[in-house]
């Protein structure tokens, strides 16, 4: 049915519906465009499309585990990404792989000429590696954002506000490594006069009054100054490369293969040592079995030392003790008679004999306890024997003396019974 055939009411209702559908489609397209723009904006922010990026490059031995687009890390943060990996020309015998990467703002401010290096480290156990840059420890920033100018001494003196300008290069003393002026050091009349004395005609300066968003200069290590930054140029970071895990495993396996014969020989030696130890323990067991009777006898002997018939009685028998007591008693009686005889002499001789009598009485008291002391200690027998021998010599000397000879006349008595001979305990059983 044609549109002309519709009633005015239907035509009005249809036009309203068409406008609603049009508004709905326009709103949907607007939302779609807004969502797409927001997605592009968030992606750009996440990937740093709107951030300033400073280019760097380094060289590695191999590109194993690295690929374009991998993140670059600094102090644990993702600060950039690898933009190019390529092999060096065939006639370059010093470097193998060229790796170029970008560092986003503001992290390129951590990279200085001293201490900053590009480290290729292991990322996982499957051969993956990652690129990591280290924070600088000194020197100068790798990139600057102040305008660069090359001026003469006359132009430098005419610059407005010398303190707002800084050196953009190193000024050396002649034939010395000492610096007369360092980069980023403010200009002053003293520094300009020093540069004139050094014969410097022109040098690079930085205008610190202006800081631009893009890099204006890059440090040149060979020339010792900042050079204007150009598209396609990048700063060289020296690399510290660690081999991949697979290469380490291969080296470890090779070392294990070399060490395996030695390990096997060591196990054989350990087996021989263990077998020798087993035989030694068996021999020790046999020796212990053979030594058991001797140990038992020694234990029985030591247990019987404090009992009658022990080692002390073997050394000093009972009959010897009895004979020694009789002898000492006879010696005491003889000494008593000698004391009485000496008492009848003159006064000096009586005093001497009295003193000698007291000494002999003390000796008699000592000898009376000698039996107990001998029983308590077997080591006193030699001393007692010496004392008896000396006492006998003393008596014999007194008997031969002309003054005391008459005091030792033997009485007319029967002959003494014969003295029994000393025998050891072993001879008594025979």
Question: Which tens digit of pLDDT belongs to each residue from 255-289?
Answer: 777 877 877 778 888 888 888 888 888 788 778 77
Predicted TM-score (pTM) of the model is: 0.51
- 106 prior amide bond cis, ω within 30: yes
Model confidence pLDDT, tens digit, residues 151-169: 999 899 888 888 899 999 9
CA 275 – CA 297 distance, rounded (Å): 34
- The full set of domains in the chain, from first to last, is 48-142+213-245 (no CATH), 146-211 (3.90.105.10), 311-410 (no CATH)
CA separation for the pair 101, 11 (Å, rounded) = 66
Instruction: Give mean pLDDT, residues 294-309.
Output: 67
The string of pLDDT tens digits covering residues 161-205 is 888 999 999 998 888 888 888 999 999 999 999 988 988 889 999
Return the pLDDT at 73: 93
Q: 207-255 pLDDT, tens per residue?
A: 999 999 899 999 999 999 999 999 889 999 998 887 665 666 677 777 7
Q: Which pLDDT value is given to residue 247?
A: 67
Which of the residue ranges 99-108, 151-160, 247-256, 329-338 would you say has the lowest mean pLDDT? 247-256
Instruction: List phi, psi (to 5°) of 390.
Output: -65, -40
pLDDT at 119: 92
Residue 426 has pLDDT above 60, yes or no: no
């Amino acid at each position: 049915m044609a549109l002309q055939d519709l009633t005015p009411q239907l035509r009005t209702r249809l036009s309203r519906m068409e406008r609603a559908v049009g508004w709905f489609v326009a709103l949907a397209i607007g939302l779609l465009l807004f969502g797409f723009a927001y997605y592009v904006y968030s992606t750009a922010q996440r990937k740093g499309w709107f951030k300033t990026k400073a280019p760097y490059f380094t060289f590695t031995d191999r590109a194993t585990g690295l690929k374009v687009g991998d993140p670059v890390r600094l102090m644990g943060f993702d600060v950039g990404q690898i933009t190019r990996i390529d092999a060096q020309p065939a006639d370059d015998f010093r470097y193998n792989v060229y790796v170029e990467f970008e560092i986003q703002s503001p992290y390129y401010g951590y990279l200085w000429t001293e201490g900053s290096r590009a480290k290729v480290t292991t990322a996982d156990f499957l051969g993956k590696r990652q690129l990591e840059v280290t924070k600088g420890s000194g020197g100068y920033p790798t990139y600057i954002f102040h305008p660069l100018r090359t001026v003469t001494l006359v132009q430098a003196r005419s610059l407005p506000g010398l303190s707002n300008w800084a050196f953009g290069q190193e000024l050396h003393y002649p034939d010395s490594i000492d610096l007369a002026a360092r980069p980023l050091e403010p200009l002053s009349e003293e520094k300009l006069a020093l540069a004139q004395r050094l014969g410097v005609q022109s040098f690079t300066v930085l205008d610190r009054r202006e800081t631009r968003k893009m890099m204006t200069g890059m440090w040149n290590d060979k020339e010792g100054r900042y050079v204007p930054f150009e598209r396609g140029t990048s700063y060289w970071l020296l690399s510290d490369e660690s081999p991949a895990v697979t290469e380490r495993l291969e080296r470890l396996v090779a070392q294990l293969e070399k060490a395996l014969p030695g390990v096997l020989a060591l196990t054989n030696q350990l087996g021989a040592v263990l077998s020798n130890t087993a035989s030694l323990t068996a021999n020790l067991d046999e020796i212990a079995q053979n030594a058991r009777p001797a140990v038992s006898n020694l234990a029985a002997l030591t247990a019987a030392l404090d009992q009658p018939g022990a080692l002390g009685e073997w050394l000093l028998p009972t009959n010897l003790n009895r004979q020694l007591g009789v002898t000492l008693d006879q010696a005491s009686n003889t000494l008593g008679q000698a004391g009485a005889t000496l008492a009848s002499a003159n006064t000096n001789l009586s005093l001497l004999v009295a003193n000698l009598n007291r000494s002999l009485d003390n000796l008699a008291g000592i000898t009376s306890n000698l039996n107990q002391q001998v029983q308590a200690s077997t080591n006193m027998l030699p001393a007692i024997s010496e004392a008896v021998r000396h006492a006998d010599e003393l008596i014999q000397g007194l008997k031969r003396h002309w003054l005391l000879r008459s005091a030792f006349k033997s009485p007319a008595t029967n002959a003494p019974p014969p003295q029994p001979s000393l025998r050891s305990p072993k001879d008594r059983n025979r």
